A and B are shown apart, each in its own frame.
Chain A
Amino acid sequence: MNRRRSPLWWPLAALVALLAFNALASPGFFHLEWKEGRLYGTLVDIFNQGARVPMLLALGMTLVIATGGVDLSVGSLMAVSGAVAAMQVNAGASLGQAAGLGLLLSSGLGLANGWLIAKVRLQPIIATLVMMVAGRGLAMLLTGSQMVPFKDEGLRYLANGSLLGLPVPIYGVLGAALLTGWALRRSAWGLFIEATGDNETASRLAGVPTGGVRLLVYTFSGLCAGMAGLLEASNIAAADPARMGETRELDAIFAVVAGGAALTGGRFSLAGSLVGALLLQTLTLTLYNQNVPPAVAPVPKALVILGVCLLHSPKLREQMGRLRIFTPA
C-alpha cells in the first residue's frame, strides 16, 4: 500500500462505494436516456438538482477555509444576487446587466467581509455572521419581503437550458472550477493562501500579502455565492428573499470538510471539495431512493460525514496502520 495517499482518496472512495451500492440496490440508477435532444437520468439529477449549488459555494468556501477562516454569509449573498437579478430583468434590463449587477453586489459584500476580517481584524465567524444577517436583511429590503417571480427566458435558461445535450449549469460549474484551479496554478495565489492559513505571522514576515489574500478569498466566495444565487432563482423562475440559500453555507462547509480540508487552514484541494459536494448529494438521493423518511434522513447523512472526516484524521489512520500489522500481508 502506498503510504501517502492523495487527499482525494477517501471522499472519492466513499462516492464510488455509494454509487456501487446504488447500482445494486436500485436498478436503473445508471440508466441514461436521450430525450428531446438532452440527457436524462439519475446521475444527471444528482448534479442538476442538488450538487450544483453546493459545488459552486464549495469553490469559494475551500479557499476561505484554506486561510483558516469560514464564510457563513454565502446563503444570504445568494438571496441578494438572486433578488437583484430578478428585479432587474423585471425592470427590463438585459440578462447580462441583471446577472452582472447581482454578481457585483454579492462580490462587493464578500469584499466587505474580507475588509472586516483583514483590516478591522474581526474573527471570520463573527464578521460573516454579521454579513449573514445583514445580507438577508438587504435582500428583504430590496424586494419588500415579497417573492419576485419573473418570466425572462434568458435568466430561466441559466438553470434549465441544455447545451449539446447536457444541462447548462454543468458547463457553468465545471468552467468555474477549472478556471479557478487554472488561475491558482498559474499565479502564486494558491501558495499564498496555503501559507497564510498555515502560519499567518510567518507568511506576513516573509512578505506574503496576507491582507490581500483575505480580501481575495472572501470576495471570491461572495462571487461564487452570487453565481449560486442566479442559478437558484433561475431554477424556480423566482427569487425568494426569505428562503433562498438558507443553510446552504453549511452544505458548502460540509463539502469542503468531506473533501479533506482542515478547518484550521493550510492545504486545500478544489477537486476534493467538489467530490465532497457530489458525495453529499448522492447520499441524499440514495436515502430518498431507499425510502428513508425525510425526517430520519439527516442521521445517516451525519454518520457518513463523520466517517469521512474520521478517515481524514491522521491519528485514526495511524491506529488503523497499527492494526494492519496483525493482518497477514
Chain B
Amino acid sequence: MSCLLQLRGIEKRFGSFAALRGVSLELRAGEIHALMGENGAGKSTLIKVITGVHQATGGSMEMAGRAHRPRRPQQAESAGISTVYQEVNLLPNLSIAENIMMGRQPMWGPFIRPVEGRRRARAALARLGLEVDVARPLGACAVALQQMAAIARALDQEARVLILDEPTSSLDAREVAELFAVLRRLRDQGMGILFVSHFLDQVYALSDRITVLRDGGGVGTWDVAELPRLDLVGHMIGKPVAARAAESARNEFRGRAAAGFFQVEQLERRGVAGPFAFGVEAGGATGLAGLLGSGRSELARMLFGIDPATSGKVRVDGREVALHSPRAAMAAGLAFCSEDRKVEGIVPSLSVRENIILALQASRGPLRRLPECEQAALAEKFIQALNIKTRGPETPMGTLSGGNQQKCLLARWMAVQPRLLILDEPTRGIDIGAKGEIEALCAELRRAGLAILFISGELDEVVRNCNQVVVLRDRRQAAVLEGGAISLQRIMETVAAA
C-alpha cells in the first residue's frame, strides 16, 4: 500500500510547553487509522498541525510525496486533506446546502448558483446514505444531522485524506453504523482516514491500524489484530487499568427504588416525551438507557425544570414539588450537569473558583454572599479532591481542557450538596483516565447518600454504574430494570423490542 501522508518527528511548542515532541505517523492510502490517547496527549494539536491551524516547530510532513507545510487550513484543504472537528463548527442560520458548500459555492461570475449548490449538497449527503431537505436551516436539524453535514462538507472537497475528530460522540447506534459503512466505502476507494475516538468498540470495529500518543510523544503504531484492548488502554494511560470502584458500589447497594425519597409519577411533557414513572432511592444510581433521541435528555430537562412537564407529579419525601424552573428544582434538592458543556455548563471567562461556587451562591441568593475565604477554601478543596488540573483557582475556566471543565462542573453541583444529581453524558468527549475518576467519584458520592440519575450513550457504563435502569424507547418509558436484572443483553432487547 502506498503511503499518503507521512509525518516525521513532528514537534510543537507553545512558549515553554511542548505539546508535541517528535511524533511520527504514516497514513496509507486505503486505510482507516485510529489516533488514540488521553486528553492532553496531543491528538488535537497533531491534527491542527496537519491541517495548518498550527505550524509545527520541528519535524517534516509529506503529502503524497510532496512536502506539506500548510500555513492556513485552506492550504491543507487544497492539498487534499479534509477535516471534521469534534465540535460542529457550522452556521446554524444558514441552510444545510449553504453550510456544505460554504467557501466553495459554485459561481456564475460574481453570483452564487444556489440550485447547483443544493444539487451538489444533495449528492454529498447521498454518499452518506442520507436524503434530507437541504434548504432547511441547519440549526433546526438534530445534532446528529449537523454532524453528517460536516462530514458531507468534507466529502464534497474531493479529499484524499479525511480526518475525523470524535465524529461519533453525538450519533446514535444506527447513525454510527451508517457512518462506518460510508467510511469503509471511502477507504475501499483509496482514501486515507485518520480517526480519533474515545469509544474503544468503534475503534476496534472500524480501524486497520492504531497509533497511540501519550504526553505529546508517539508510543507506537500497531495493527488492530495485534493489539488487545487492555494493552491499548495500558499504552494510553501508561499503567494498568485502575480498580473498578464503580462496580463494587453497585454491588454494595441494596436500596429499594420503589420506596425511594424521589418519586416520578406519570410525568409528561406533551408532544416531547413521557409519561415516566419511577422512584429513586437515596444512595442509588438510576440509569436512563436508550438510543439517541429516545427521550433521555428530555426527561432530565423536565425534571430540572428547563422544559417543564405539562402533566404528572414529582414527589420528594412524599411531598409534591413543582419543578417549573431550574431554581425550583434546585430548591427541591436537584442538580443537573448538562451534556452540552460549552453552551449550558461553563462560564468561560470567569475563574475556576467562580464557576465552582456559582450554583451554591445562586441557591443562597444575591444578598448572602459567600465570604471570600470560604470561596477560596471550597475551590481549593474541589481542585484537590477531583484532581482538577489548572494553574490555579483564578485561571479562566475557558482555558481548561474538556475533562477538567467537566470536573469543575461536577464540583459546582457537589458544592450545593444536592440529594439527586442528574448527570447527562458526564463522560462524553473525555479520556479513559478521567472517565474512571468520574465514575469512582460518583460511587463515593453515593456512599454519602447522594442519589444519581445517570444518562449515557455507552450502555456498558450504565450497566457498570447503576442499580436501576429506566429503559426508554421512542420518547417513553419501556421498562424499569433493577439489580440483578440489569445486563447489556436485557437493555438491548428492551431497546430493540418492537
Residues of A within 8 Å of B349, CB to CB, are 194, 198, 266-267
- Contact (Cβ within 8 A) A202 B369: no
Q: Which of A195, A202, A267 contacts B345 (CB 8 A)?
A: A202
Contact residue range for chain B?
Answer: 20 to 34
- Is B169 interfacial (CB-CB < 8 Å)? no
- Contact (Cβ within 8 A) B327 A209: yes
- Contact (Cβ within 8 A) B344 A202: yes
Q: Which of A186, A201, A206, A208 has the largest number of chain B CB atoms within 10 A?
A: A206
Q: Which of A189, A199, A207, A212 contacts B347 (CB 8 A)?
A: A199
- Is B144 interfacial (CB-CB < 8 Å)? no
- Is A90 interfacial (CB-CB < 8 Å)? no
- Is B363 interfacial (CB-CB < 8 Å)? yes
Residues of B within 8 Å of A201, CB to CB, are 343-344
- Is B292 interfacial (CB-CB < 8 Å)? no
- Contact (Cβ within 8 A) A198 B350: yes
- Is B8 interfacial (CB-CB < 8 Å)? no
Digit string of B337-363 for contact with A (CB within 8 Å is 1, else 0)?
Answer: 010000111111110001000110111
Residues of A within 8 Å of B115, CB to CB, are none
Residues of A within 8 Å of B330, CB to CB, are 207
- Contact (Cβ within 8 A) B370 A188: yes
Q: Which of A186, A187, A195, A204 contacts B354 (CB 8 A)?
A: A195
User: A206-246: which have CB < 8 Å to B?
Assistant: 206-209, 212
A31–B327 Cα distance when bound, in Å, is 57
- Contact (Cβ within 8 A) A186 B369: yes
A192–B362 Cα distance when bound, in Å, is 8
- Contact (Cβ within 8 A) B347 A202: yes
Digit string of A169-213 for contact with B (CB within 8 Å is 1, else 0)?
Answer: 000000000000000001111011011001101111111110010
A256–B57 Cα distance when bound, in Å, is 40
- Contact (Cβ within 8 A) A203 B358: yes
- Say yes or no: A202-B362 contact (C-beta < 8 A), given A195-B354, A207-B330: no
In the assembled complex, the CB of A127 is this many whole angstroms from the nearest CB of chain B, namely: 22
- Contact (Cβ within 8 A) B344 A205: yes
- Contact (Cβ within 8 A) B359 A207: yes
- Contact (Cβ within 8 A) B369 A208: no
In the assembled complex, the CB of B425 is this many whole angstroms from the nearest CB of chain A, namely: 15
Digit string of B359-399 for contact with A (CB within 8 Å is 1, else 0)?
Answer: 10111111111100000000000000000000000000000
Q: Which of A186, A202, A207 contacts B327 (CB 8 A)?
A: A207
Residues of B within 8 Å of A189, CB to CB, are 366
Q: Which of A186, A192, A194, A206 contacts B412 (CB 8 A)?
A: A206
- Contact (Cβ within 8 A) B306 A208: no
- Say yes or no: A188-B369 contact (C-beta < 8 A), given A194-B350, A195-B354: yes
- Is B336 interfacial (CB-CB < 8 Å)? yes
In the assembled complex, the CB of B342 is this many whole angstroms from the nearest CB of chain A, namely: 9
- Contact (Cβ within 8 A) A199 B362: no
Residues of A within 8 Å of B338, CB to CB, are 205
- Is B326 interfacial (CB-CB < 8 Å)? yes
In the assembled complex, the CB of A77 is this many whole angstroms from the nearest CB of chain B, namely: 25
- Say yes or no: A203-B336 contact (C-beta < 8 A), given A191-B358, A208-B358, A208-B362: no
- Contact (Cβ within 8 A) A188 B363: no
Residues of B within 8 Å of A207, CB to CB, are 326-327, 330, 359, 362-363
A72–B247 Cα distance when bound, in Å, is 59
A195–B368 Cα distance when bound, in Å, is 17
A113–B330 Cα distance when bound, in Å, is 29
A194–B351 Cα distance when bound, in Å, is 11
User: B242-284: which have CB < 8 Å to A?
Assistant: none
In the assembled complex, the CB of B334 is this many whole angstroms from the nearest CB of chain A, namely: 10
In the assembled complex, the CB of B359 is this many whole angstroms from the nearest CB of chain A, namely: 4
- Contact (Cβ within 8 A) A205 B326: yes
A75–B92 Cα distance when bound, in Å, is 37
In the assembled complex, the CB of A1 is this many whole angstroms from the nearest CB of chain B, namely: 15
- Contact (Cβ within 8 A) A188 B366: yes
Digit string of B127-150 for contact with A (CB within 8 Å is 1, else 0)?
Answer: 000000000000000000000000
A188–B375 Cα distance when bound, in Å, is 12
Q: Which of B304, B327, B350, B364 contacts A188 (CB 8 A)?
A: B364
Residues of B within 8 Å of A212, CB to CB, are 366
- Contact (Cβ within 8 A) B358 A195: yes
In the assembled complex, the CB of A297 is this many whole angstroms from the nearest CB of chain B, namely: 36
A201–B326 Cα distance when bound, in Å, is 11
- Contact (Cβ within 8 A) B358 A198: no
A189–B369 Cα distance when bound, in Å, is 9
- Say yes or no: A188-B361 contact (C-beta < 8 A), given A195-B350, A207-B326, A207-B327: yes
In the assembled complex, the CB of A198 is this many whole angstroms from the nearest CB of chain B, namely: 5
A185 and chain B: residue at smallest CB distance: B369
Q: Which of A192, A198, A199 contacts B366 (CB 8 A)?
A: A192
A195–B367 Cα distance when bound, in Å, is 16
Residues of B within 8 Å of A209, CB to CB, are 327, 362, 366
In the assembled complex, the CB of A22 is this many whole angstroms from the nearest CB of chain B, namely: 36
User: B311-346: which have CB < 8 Å to A?
Assistant: 326-327, 330, 336, 338, 343-346
User: A153-169: which have CB < 8 Å to B?
Assistant: none
A202–B326 Cα distance when bound, in Å, is 11
A208–B370 Cα distance when bound, in Å, is 14
User: B206-256: which have CB < 8 Å to A?
Assistant: none
Q: Which of B330, B344, B370 has the largest number of chain A CB atoms within 10 A?
A: B344
Residues of A within 8 Å of B306, CB to CB, are 205
In the assembled complex, the CB of B245 is this many whole angstroms from the nearest CB of chain A, namely: 28
In the assembled complex, the CB of A276 is this many whole angstroms from the nearest CB of chain B, namely: 20
- Say yes or no: A188-B367 contact (C-beta < 8 A), given A205-B338, A207-B330: yes
- Contact (Cβ within 8 A) B346 A199: yes
Residues of B within 8 Å of A199, CB to CB, are 343, 346-348
A203 and chain B: residue at smallest CB distance: B347
A-B contact pairs, 18 of them (CB 8 A): A188-B367, A188-B370, A192-B361, A192-B362, A192-B366, A194-B354, A199-B347, A199-B348, A201-B344, A202-B345, A203-B347, A203-B358, A205-B326, A206-B359, A206-B412, A207-B362, A208-B362, A212-B366
Task: State the 7 A-B residue pairs at the shortest beta-carbon distance, nearest first.
Answer: A207-B362, A206-B359, A188-B369, A199-B347, A206-B358, A208-B362, A188-B366
Residues in chain B within 8 A of chain A (CB atoms): 304, 306, 326-327, 330, 336, 338, 343-350, 354, 358-359, 361-370, 412
- A192-B362, A199-B343 given. 18 additional CB < 8 A pairs? A186-B369, A187-B366, A187-B369, A188-B367, A189-B366, A191-B350, A191-B354, A195-B350, A195-B354, A198-B347, A202-B343, A205-B345, A206-B347, A206-B412, A207-B359, A207-B362, A207-B363, A209-B366
